Amino acid sequence: MEKTRNIWLDGSLVAWDAAQTHVLTHGLHYGLGVFEGIRAYKTEDGRSAFFRLREHLQRLLGSAHILLMEVPYTVDALEKACLELLRSNGLPEGYVRPLAYSGYGNLGVGAINDTHVAIAVWPWGAYLSEDGLAKGIRAKVSSFTRTHVNVNMVRAKVTGQYVNSILANREATLAGYQEAILLDTEGYVAEGSGENIFIVQGGVLQTPPLSSPVLAGITRESVLRIAKDFGIPVLEQKFTRDTMYIADELFMTGTAAEVTPVREVDNRRIGTGKPGPITQRIQDTYFKAVHGGEPRYRDWLTYI
Ligand code: PMP
């Protein structure tokens, strides 16, 4: 991770190395924290803009609400903080990580502590590699299952829940794949360790519905909108792992992963083994949109 100048911490900017917390911080022990990943891009006109900033901040506060955590900032205040952070670091683009966590003081499982908020930014390139973006990645169905909707809160982006993602991702990467695909407790495809998943079959774009244990991805929603605007039929419906094997195209979406084609799952080539035409069209439009080159999606951007 490349260090930057400042981190926004509880209302003010502090130097990167000064953004520290006590080892007995409650959230560190039990995973009671919520977070976001947001990207800011350099736009075609030479400015910079956050992509879907308010939606991310709303999801952050929604995640905290689900966990009964009181965040002492509004979406407006957090939006201002993100803008201030990017400007103060002098970065034209970067990955922004807001984190709200249960603080230091009381350490029982049910203890209530103040919620602290930190926002950091640093440069972060292609999450699943430039090569993956261009040619597609190899993925593996995980032996770890995505959480049941009554075990964890699937609408919330909770720090502790990411142990499930880490187990799945490490299993896949140690076996030589680039990413894991997790199934739900019934055996249907859910999502990647940090991405939503889409297949294309017979010209129809399909993704698991939000009643599946998947994060309501903001990139997922953007891709669904782009597909609908292109007149591509869209189906939000569960599918099995073998449906992926015989799909024409497969791709993953996420703020970090952007739109990453998947060329192989469990050693089965997907389609031609190269990013398919619908994947490429959606990826192109997504990249144009985040860089301000698509007037119809300009309202997704918050310029700095
Ligand atoms: N699923 C999981 C488990 C994730 O961690 C992410 C990344 N936030 C996503 C899906 C994609 O969400 P988004 O498009 O909002 O980044």
214 Cα nearest atom in ligand 1: 1
Taking only the tens place, the pLDDT of each residue in 217-264 is: 999 999 999 999 999 999 999 999 999 999 999 999 999 999 999 999
Q: With a 6 A CB cut-off, is 103 part of the ligand 1 pocket?
A: no
Q: With a 6 A CB cut-off, is 220 part of the ligand 1 pocket?
A: yes
Of 57, 92, 122, which one is at a domain's C-terminal end? 122
Rounded CA separation 192/142 (Å)? 9
The pLDDT of 23-49, averaged and rounded, is: 97
Those residues whose C-beta lies under 8 Å from the C-beta of residue 95, and which sit 6 or more positions away, are 37, 38, 39, 121, 122, 123, 124, 255, 256
Is residue 117 domain-shared with residue 160, that is, in the same domain? no
Is residue 74 domain-shared with residue 19, that is, in the same domain? yes
Nearest CA to ligand 1 atom 2: 194
Residue percentage of the chain with pLDDT more than 90: 98
Q: With a 6 A CB cut-off, is 276 part of the ligand 1 pocket?
A: no
Among residues 157, 238, 274, 288, the one annotated as catalytic is 157
35 belongs to a structural domain:
yes
Is residue 136 domain-shared with residue 252, that is, in the same domain? yes
299 belongs to a structural domain:
no
Is residue 135 domain-shared with residue 263, that is, in the same domain? yes
pLDDT value, residue 126: 86
Q: 33 pairs with which residues across the strands?
A: 101
Is residue 272 domain-shared with residue 195, that is, in the same domain? yes
Phi and psi (nearest 5°) for 162? -75, -5
Give the global pTM: 0.97
Is residue 172 domain-shared with residue 197, that is, in the same domain? yes
47 belongs to a structural domain:
yes
Determine the distance separating the centroid of ligand 1 and the alpha carbon of 214, expressed in angstroms.
Answer: 8
270 belongs to a structural domain:
yes
220 Cα nearest atom in ligand 1: 14
Of 89, 122, 155, which one is at a domain's C-terminal end? 122
Both structure tokens of 155: 């609408």
Determine the distance separating the centroid of ligand 1 and the alpha carbon of 105, expressed in angstroms.
Answer: 31
300 belongs to a structural domain:
no
Of 122, 144, 159, which one is at a domain's C-terminal end? 122
Is residue 163 domain-shared with residue 256, that is, in the same domain? yes
Count how many domains the chain has. Answer: 2
219 Cα nearest atom in ligand 1: 14
Determine the distance separating the centroid of ligand 1 and the alpha carbon of 110, expressed in angstroms.
Answer: 27
Q: Is the pLDDT of residue 95 over 90?
A: yes
Could you tell me the CATH number of the domain that includes residue 251?
A: 3.20.10.10
Taking only the tens place, the pLDDT of each residue in 178-215 is: 999 999 999 999 999 999 999 999 999 999 999 999 99
Q: With a 6 A CB cut-off, is 254 part of the ligand 1 pocket?
A: yes
Rounded CA separation 131/45 (Å)? 27
Is residue 81 domain-shared with residue 191, that is, in the same domain? no
Determine the distance separating the centroid of ligand 1 and the alpha carbon of 215, expressed in angstroms.
Answer: 6
Active site residue 140: no
279 belongs to a structural domain:
yes
117 belongs to a structural domain:
yes
**Strands 6-9 and 115-122, bridge-based pairing:** antiparallel
By residue range, what is the domain housing residue 42? 6-122
The pLDDT of 17-34, averaged and rounded, is: 98
HEC assignment per residue over 89-100: HCCCCEEEEEEE
297 belongs to a structural domain:
no
Is residue 205 domain-shared with residue 72, that is, in the same domain? no
